[in-house]
Amino acid sequence: MSKETNGIETIHVVSQTHWDREWYQDFQGFRARLVYMIDELIDHMEKDPEYKHFMMDGQTIVLDDYLEIRPENRERLQKLIQAGRIDIGPWYVMPDEFLVSGESLIRNIQKGMSQSRSWGVEPMMSGFVVDIFGHNSQMPQILQGFGIDNAVLFRGFHGDADPSEIWWEGADGSRVLGLKLDEDRSYSDFYFAFRWPFFDRDDAYEAHKEELIDRAVAHMAFKNRRTTTTVGIGMDGVDHVEIEPQLPLLIKLLNETDRLNVTFIHSSLEKYLEELRSKLGELRVYKGEQKALAYNGVNNWVPENTLSSRIHLKQHNYSCETLLEKWAEPLGVMTSLEGRPYSAGFLNKAWEHLLQNHPHDSICGCSIDQVHQDMIYRFDQSRLISEQMIKEQTSFIVDHLNESELGGNQAFTVFNSSSFGIEGVIEVELLLPAGSDAAVALKGMGGTSFRLFDHARNEVSYQVLSIRSGSANKFRPYRELPRLDMVDRYRIAFAASIPAMGYSTYTLEKYTIEHPAPLAYSAPKLIGPVRHTGSMQTDENTWNNGRIIVQVGASGTIDVTDIRSGHTCKGLLVFEDEGDIGDGWSHIAPVGNTKVRSSGLQAVISTVADGAYQSTIRVQLTLKLPKGIEAGENGRSSELVDVPVTTYIDLKKDDPVIYCRTSITNTARDHRLRLLFPAGLDAEHYYTSTPFDFVKRDVRVPDQSDYLRKPFEVVPHNGIVALDDGERGFALYSKGLYEVSVRDNAGRTIALTLYRSTHKEVLSDGSDGGQLLGQLDFEYAIRLFAAKKDSRAGLWKEHQLYSAGIKTINRKQGKQYRETPHRREADLPLRKSYLTLESEELILSAYKQADDGNGYVVRIFNIEDTDGEGVLGFDRPLLSVQRVNLDDRLLDELTVDGSTVKVNVMSKQIVTLKVNFA
């Protein structure tokens, strides 16, 4: 409490319920409770005008869940909402802040605010994130982008009487007023002080008034040690709790005593904020990410290992976000510019399914098994909608290519959703009529019978990686029944040039194969087979792609050398396994924590593909791991089980990135498996990507042995970990993996968690759902870089391309059977770019239609520590480019120059543009 403050004079009692949609109970069980709770709330508010306010936990999805069961109560509920007695929004769901993308966080608030306005009110303007497992560094900027100037916070702070009012400053300098809830009872302080102790007593409050006042005196002393002003908040609610109908009586009793110098009023969060703002003095400033280890507090802890619980959920989410953000939305813009209606309804539904998996107890993997089974369905629906739209969008382009430029040939089109062009080796799948190519029909010829040409009729050499013969390819002509082609699926690699946010088409010229007639002696009619030879393999266990050299050791580890700099990293890809007796929230090692590493094993090393453009190395290991945990949980089992591990390593010509895929058949229980990458760099700091930021972290961890809980051992990231010594750098890319640490050892070893197997579940006997038994697949990549040449933004954009990849659509010879009603003239060029972003610092986050259907939204951001600038180029003249906030409110107008516009973006800033074409 500041020296100028004599104590809290007014407490705004805010009634609410913290509603986890699913957690220790399945969704339908929780929904039944929700329906009964809202039924009672409506009935009681209609009868008792003294029960003035209620807050719906800052999320609108509870209204949808309720009305699906009680549609007849919509008007009654709407009347209370419009009267200002029930506050809704601004979130759709209360998400985790590290396990979802920055775009997901923005779309979540956008949907919550839109739904709030559909009820005829403005949303509650508060960043209500009371039970999130730490807060990312860009949340203040995101909130301010919606005009929200405050955040209600709990976890992620030191505790020990933190001030209840703070400034929280984001990475870019944006500030919001932080309402810091106390470390003990957080969003339930009023409930635990006054309701909970009297729960099962008759005539609770009046009959025990003296005890009630004693508790009030103690409670106010507790709050006065934390306040900076004379106004405070009392949170009247807790997880999934119903209302207290006697709350007006309770407040009346508290206000009648002369032992308290405070007045309690039944209020709302916004009314509390209105009074609070007028009383603020100098406040402590908290900067950036808030994920501190809790010094003390009953509930004041950040579950760190939710980053790796039920990792398959995180991988599904990452894939769905990538499909929507990097493909379905940008392709929707590209095709709408060519005459196809933008698929807003479909894409909104895909986002809705996806966002419903983002509540912290869902995406964090710390709920009961039924909850996480339900999530798979939602991920599937989001994915299937996106995949269908992507198929239709890419087919729309391919179906309407200029037929004269194709020359009647089979073709395939490669799409690039990045804001920069691709110049390098790519891998695509070709669909050839079954048995039509020499590689299948005449294997002894040792080649293919087709030539490949780019859009300008330049012949392109290629390498066949694999062939799958006799595969079914289904299609459904519009107004017709489904049909089937039998095809051979060829995977080929070649050096491609694909423009930014666009496509390029390649044509195939095939030779006809005529087999000799029976008893004939003539040879097949075939103009010499097409052969493209070459190899990256320099000896039995060494490969050189022109940029990097990879040597595979006997135990399956690899040594990597950057040819340009001479920088070598040795002993990469060690698997390390340890016990885990924890749960969805926490990794807990048993006392007897036997650790198993792969460094002493004998690997089987194979060359799966080798050629001029791509080599694939397969490394097979068998880990012998303890079967589980011994009785009493003091150590790991003495019985061992085999856990097969297969890693594929792809090298592409002149590409500095090493692409890895690991497949594990998990047969062991109660353990954590990590991959180790000794960077071998003398670095004091490292960086990890989080939503819209590249966070700098110390390698050395301070001594926190006197804290309530054990020190953190891992940190969050969403795909990039990088460190350097000022000259040489090492970056690790991954897809859908979020838990990592950099060890304070001589090697500065990066430890990437692949998965945790756990049995325990909240308020249950546990299940095998969290053990993740069976096949698990992981994707990651290694990148050695030059610290002075390769910028952080460059690494981020490289990772974006790695995550998104490319899309390929085949076009067979002859008549085209279109599968949708969307038509236009078949005059599209074989190659086109729709958007470019020329900038060293700026990164594209979104390209989509504006929510009001008027124009398009381009969102860019800058992760660098310095201001950046760039030029956005489009495929047609611009009418206007406006800078808007995240709520689509106009900020200013930019000057356009034909089809380009220059953009300046400050360090760590997120900028949203609304684009209209002439």
DSSP secondary structure of 180-225:
E--TTTGGGHHIIIIIGGGTTSTTHHHHTHHHHHHHHHHHHHHHHT
Can you give the pLDDT at residue 4?
45
Query: Does 184 lie in the same domain as 116?
Result: yes
Burial 719-740 (b: 16+ CB within 10 A, else e): bbbbbbbeebbbbbbbbbbbbb
Residues 216 and 194: beta-carbon distance below 8 Å: yes
358 falls within a domain = no
Token pair for 27: 């969704």
101 falls within a domain = yes
Q: What is the CATH number of the domain that holds 479?
A: 2.60.40.2210
Q: Which residues contact 68 (CB under 8 A, 6 or more apart)?
A: none
50 falls within a domain = yes
The neighbouring-strand residues paired with 625 are 641
Query: Does 761 lie in the same domain as 681?
Result: yes
Token pair for 12: 């705004």
Other C-beta atoms closer than 10 Å to the C-beta of 120 total 10
Q: Which of 351, 429, 322 is nearest to 804 (CA)?
A: 322
Burial 449-475 (b: 16+ CB within 10 A, else e): bbbbbbbeeeebebbbbebebeeeeee
Can you give the pLDDT at residue 518?
62
349 falls within a domain = no
Query: Does 671 lie in the same domain as 550?
Result: yes
Task: Say how many domains are in the chain.
Answer: 4
Determine the Cα–Cα distance for residues 777 and 799; give it in Å rounded to an integer. Answer: 19
Query: Does 545 lie in the same domain as 527?
Result: no
Residue 538 dihedral angles phi and psi, to the nearest 5°: -100, -25
Determine the Cα–Cα distance for residues 906 and 273; give it in Å rounded to an integer. Answer: 30
> For residue range 128-142, what is the model confidence (pLDDT) as tens digits?
999 999 999 999 999
Q: Which of 680, 666, 637 is nearest to 756 (CA)?
A: 666
Query: Does 852 lie in the same domain as 786?
Result: no
* CA angle (804 as vertex; 310, 749 as ends), nearest 5: 55
Give the residue from 294, 323, 354 where a domain finishes.
Answer: 294
Can you give the pLDDT at residue 314?
98
Phi-psi region of 168 (alpha: psi -120 to 50; beta: other; left: phi over 0): beta
Rg (CA), the chain: 30
Residues 712 and 292: beta-carbon distance below 8 Å: no
Query: Does 151 lie in the same domain as 233?
Result: yes
Q: Which of 118, 47, 38 is nearest to 72 (CA)?
A: 38
Q: Quick one: how far is CA 482 from the chain centroid? A: 36
Residues 869 and 902: beta-carbon distance below 8 Å: yes
Can you give the pLDDT at residue 861?
98
Determine the Cα–Cα distance for residues 558 and 603; give it in Å rounded to an integer. Answer: 12
For 522, half-sphere exposure in the C-beta direction (CA atoms, 13 angstrom radius) is: 9
Q: Which of 423, 421, 418 is nearest to 654 (CA)?
A: 423
Token pair for 140: 């203040």
Q: Length of the chain in residues, anyone?
A: 918
Q: Which of 150, 321, 303, 290 is nearest to 695 (CA)?
A: 290
Query: Does 587 lie in the same domain as 448?
Result: no
Query: Does 191 lie in the same domain as 219?
Result: yes
Determine the Cα–Cα distance for residues 16 and 87; give it in Å rounded to an integer. Answer: 9
* CA angle (840 as vertex; 145, 855 as ends), nearest 5: 45
Give the residue from 263, 294, 325 where a domain finishes.
Answer: 294
What are the residue ranges of helices labelled H in 236-368? 247-256, 269-277, 311-322, 329-336, 344-355, 360-363
For 240, half-sphere exposure in the C-beta direction (CA atoms, 13 angstrom radius) is: 15
Task: Give the burial class of 537: count Cβ atoms within 10 A of its Cβ; 0-12 exposed, 13-18 middle, 19 or more buried.
Answer: middle
Can you give the pLDDT at residue 490?
97
Extract the runs of DSSP E, i.e. beta strands, from 302-420: 410-416
> Which residues of the chain register pLDDT less than 70?
1-5, 513-528
Report the predicted TM-score, pTM, of the whole model to 2 decimal places: 0.96
885 falls within a domain = yes
> To which H or E segment does residue 838 belong?
strand 835-838
Token pair for 731: 């970056």
Can you give the pLDDT at residue 500?
98
Q: What is the CATH number of the domain that holds 213?
A: 3.20.110.10
Q: Which domain holds residue 427?
A: 403-533+806-811
Query: Does 735 lie in the same domain as 622?
Result: yes
> To which H or E segment does residue 87 belong?
strand 86-87
Residues 496 and 422: beta-carbon distance below 8 Å: yes
Residues 885 and 174: beta-carbon distance below 8 Å: no
Query: Does 79 lie in the same domain as 201?
Result: yes
Determine the Cα–Cα distance for residues 620 and 661; give it in Å rounded to an integer. Answer: 12
825 falls within a domain = no
Give the residue from 294, 312, 347 where a domain finishes.
Answer: 294
470 falls within a domain = yes
> What's the start-to-end Cα distance of the chain, in Å?
58
Extract the runs of DSSP E, i.e. beta strands, from 441-534: 450-453, 459-460, 463-475, 483-498, 502-510
How many separate helices (H) and strands (E) can be counted in the chain?
A: 18, 48
364 falls within a domain = no
Determine the Cα–Cα distance for residues 96 and 92; give it in Å rounded to an integer. Answer: 13
Query: Does 546 lie in the same domain as 507?
Result: no
Can you give the pLDDT at residue 516?
60
Query: Does 582 lie in the same domain as 499?
Result: no
Strands 831-833 and 502-510: antiparallel
Q: What is the CATH number of the domain that holds 890?
A: 2.60.40.1180
